[in-house]
Structure 1
Amino acid sequence: MTQVHDHGGGVHSLRVPIPDNPLGHTLVYVVDTDRGPVLVDTGWDDPASWNALAEGLTACGTSVADLYGVIVTHHHPDHHGLSGRVREASGAWIAMHAADTAVVRRTREARPGQWLSYMAAKLAAAGAPEEHLAPLRTARPRALPGLSPALPDREIVPGDLLDLPGRRLRAVWTPGHTPGHVCLHLEEDHPAGLPGRGRLFSGDHLLPEITPHIGLYEDPDDTSVTDPLGDYLDSLERVGRLAPAEVLPAHQHGFTDAPARVRQLLLHHEERLNGLLALLSQPLTPWQLAERMEWNRPWQDIPCGSRNIAVSEAEAHLRRLVGLGRAEAVAGSDPVTYVAAS
């Protein structure tokens, strides 16, 4: 498929590959400004990804060295991975929401093995069996992509216009997928005259055919009870009210009628919550709930790392149900189990 696509109005997208990932690629957007091109996300930190980014910029008539800035929708490595290398090659600034900058700083400062210990303890509390926990407890820390991400230079402030001379790009805070996820609203007439309010760079918040992962915000030092799914649902409704003419997501393809897609996703999550309540007719740990939830493949075929993500998503849904008073923890259970509220 074509690596570069011209969306009109000084906006292009580049397909930057994600190694060994079914998503295939991240759509990195190039936005022309009076001070030079600005990227929305950069892609995975990998030589093939870097080459695709550089070649795509050349096809757009520019280069990495010409870049003015990088706007990161969220801290995940398929979005933020190449930001540091772009900055080194161009002097471009990097902007990110403060909540995700805190995650980046914590990741950079974590001691070797700290994350493995934290995950093992968290999964044990969620009811994971010993055969799943043993490899985490004995694993030797090793370098992984995303464990030394670039610290941003600038803060994205929700509601503010970003520093893009000659353009009107406004930050919309959309927590859920990450605590500092932002969408970016290009408040300009659609170049093809489509009805609606400009265009929306939606990151992973709003995708045309898949739902983003909504798990717990992982912070070993934060004991507050967050509600990522509630954050996500609130953010969805806020984006739906924007009614952009077109949505330009970080994966898959652009699409129109954002309000309709928002309604689909709200219904999907309501149906999923109702399905989980039916499962909670008996007390279940988060691990047991994840085992029984519907995924894109049978539980026995889900690899270890993906099971950790699935359990986090089950816990996020449980928190939402508890917060709504529709489920409750069983007093005295260890590991804690949950049951539908009577």
Structure 2
Amino acid sequence: MAQVTGHGGGVWSLKVPIPDNPLGHTLVHLLDTDAGPVLIDTGWDDPTSWDTLSDGLRALGTSVHDIHGVVITHHHPDHHGLSGRVREASGAWIAMHAADTEVVRRTRASRPGVWLGYLTAKLTAAGAPEEHLAPLRAARASGRTRTLPGLRAALPDREIVPGDLLPLAGRRLRAIWTPGHTPGHVCLHLEETHPARLPGNGRLFSGDHLLPGITPHIGLYEDPDDTTVTDPSPSSRLRSSRGDPIGDYLDSLERVARLAPAEVLPAHQHAFTDAPARVRELLDHHEERLTGLRALLATPLTAWQLAERMEWNRPWDEISYGSRNIAVSEAEAHLRRLVKLGHAEAVPGDGPLTYVAV
């Protein structure tokens, strides 16, 4: 059964389950407009998720067929997964930031196996052991790539332009570009008086950018066309320092804090207030992590070795296979930030990429 929460002022949230995921669900938000209901995110492309979304909309006196538009905070499958089915059922438009639309376009156009090949090469360069790489090679050879989520995600038909008001009749919803979790992540600022008159500036649909009790995953932006992941030459190591997702995320956090919304409506967990305080907690967390990692790099380490030594919510031996891939990507993003700050550098040589503090 759908769990629906009213937030007042023509805003509701629906808990849409994510299969086999500790997050449990995505909070899909529905916003009433004069032209019809608009969804902010849609949930995972799964039959149970679809049924839950449909049941929740019926509980609100509407249906999937009535949806006027879909605004996507970012391209991940627990947010964008059902967008195509919603559009097929209703004729709704789908809007997304251009940077994430490009990820969707590139993923759809990639040959079978490209993403697994890219991940294998990236983990090889990060120093992953052979026993971790073998299942990826086997999956690519067997053609199991068809089961990967997001390979056929819907292409949006509208672009979310940072700073602009979205064309929603009777509402003032402004796009705030908040890269970090993905290159095109956006938060959506509802520039209207809070229905309960809470102090602050409207409400913020924060996607995965700002969550009340967990820190979002910040890894390297995935790009299967990036040849630097397989080229160990010194010049390639220098080129691989392009992009800084952690830096993007920290800058985006400060941008959101300056908005000072009265309430934050995230895509996971629950609504909360005092966004500036939560931003400060996250800024402090990443500063402490960067300081700790710089200390670890007194001895040259690969990204895999660094991930093994980082603090997670469980010991490394208890972290699942897929979560280890995510952990290594986070280690790489923090390494990228340390390199950008001049606090670490790549060590010349062949084999897996090794970094040391400077």
Q: Distance in 2 between matches of 1:141 and 1:270?
A: 42
Q: Distance in 2 between matches of 1:77 and 1:265?
A: 24
Correspondence 1:141 to 2:158: no
Q: Secondary structure at the match of 1:102?
A: helix
- Which of 244, 257, 265 aligns to 2:274? It is 257
Q: Name 1:210's counterpart in structure 2.
A: 214
- Which of 168, 180, 184 aligns to 1:180? It is 184
Q: Distance in 1 between matches of 2:181 and 2:270?
A: 19
Q: Distance in 2 between matches of 1:276 and 1:326?
A: 10
Question: Contact (CA 8 Å) 2:2, 2:55: kept in 1 or not?
Answer: no
Q: Secondary structure at the match of 1:119?
A: helix
Larger deviation: 114-123 or 158-167? 114-123
Letter in 2 for 1:335: P
Q: Name 2:236's counterpart in structure 1.
A: none
TM-score by length of 2: 0.93
Q: Secondary structure at the match of 2:253?
A: helix
Q: Name 2:63's counterpart in structure 1.
A: 63
Q: Share of identical aligned residues, percent? A: 80
Larger deviation: 131-140 or 247-256? 131-140
Q: Distance in 2 between matches of 1:49 and 1:263?
A: 34
Q: Name 1:29's counterpart in structure 2.
A: 29
- Which of 270, 276, 282 aligns to 2:287? It is 270
Q: Name 1:301's counterpart in structure 2.
A: 318
Q: Distance in 1 between matches of 2:24 and 2:116?
A: 27
Aligned residues: 341
Map 1:1-342 to 2 at 5 A: 3-139=3-139, 140-142=142-144, 143=146, 144-222=148-226, 225-332=242-349, 334-341=351-358
Q: Distance in 2 between matches of 1:194 and 1:135?
A: 52
Q: Distance in 2 between matches of 1:336 and 1:203?
A: 33
Q: Secondary structure at the match of 2:313?
A: coil
Question: Contact (CA 8 Å) 2:2, 2:53: kept in 1 or not?
Answer: no
Q: Distance in 1 between matches of 2:262 and 2:2?
A: 24
Question: Contact (CA 8 Å) 2:15, 2:28: kept in 1 or not?
Answer: yes
Q: Secondary structure at the match of 2:352?
A: coil
Q: Secondary structure at the match of 1:30?
A: strand
Q: Secondary structure at the match of 2:212?
A: coil
* Alpha-carbon distance, 1:291 to partner: 0.6
Q: Distance in 1 between matches of 2:348 and 2:105?
A: 37
Q: Secondary structure at the match of 2:301?
A: coil
Larger deviation: 68-77 or 54-63? 54-63
Q: Distance in 2 between matches of 1:97 and 1:19?
A: 26
What are the Cα deviations for residues 205-224 of structure 1, in whole angstroms up to 9, with x where unaligned? 00000000000001122466
Q: Distance in 2 between matches of 1:187 and 1:81?
A: 27
Compared with structure 1, are the counterparts of its residues 74 and 84 closer, same or farther at alpha carbon in structure 2 (3 Å cutoff)? same
Q: Secondary structure at the match of 1:197?
A: coil
Which segments of 5 or more consecutive residues in structure 1 lack a partner in the other structure?
A: none
Question: Contact (CA 8 Å) 2:124, 2:352: kept in 1 or not?
Answer: yes
What are the Cα deviations for residues 57-114 of structure 1, in whole angstroms up to 9, with x where unaligned? 1111111111100000000000000000000000000000000000001111111111
Q: Secondary structure at the match of 1:291?
A: helix
Q: Distance in 1 between matches of 2:204 and 2:9?
A: 13
* Alpha-carbon distance, 1:141 to partner: 2.6
Q: Distance in 1 between matches of 2:122 and 2:170?
A: 48
TM-score by length of 1: 0.98
Q: Distance in 1 between matches of 2:134 and 2:21?
A: 26
* Alpha-carbon distance, 1:2 to partner: 7.2
Alignment root-mean-square deviation, CA: 1.1
* Alpha-carbon distance, 1:331 to partner: 2.1
* Alpha-carbon distance, 1:138 to partner: 2.2
Question: Contact (CA 8 Å) 2:2, 2:56: kept in 1 or not?
Answer: no
Compared with structure 1, are the counterparts of its residues 2 and 148 closer, same or farther at alpha carbon in structure 2 (3 Å cutoff)? closer
Q: Distance in 1 between matches of 2:312 and 2:65?
A: 43
Q: Distance in 2 between matches of 1:187 and 1:9?
A: 12
Compared with structure 1, are the counterparts of its residues 46 and 4 closer, same or farther at alpha carbon in structure 2 (3 Å cutoff)? same
Q: Secondary structure at the match of 1:281?
A: coil
Q: Distance in 2 between matches of 1:17 and 1:99?
A: 26
What are the Cα deviations for residues 279-303 of structure 1, in whole angstroms up to 9, with x where unaligned? 1110100000001111111111112
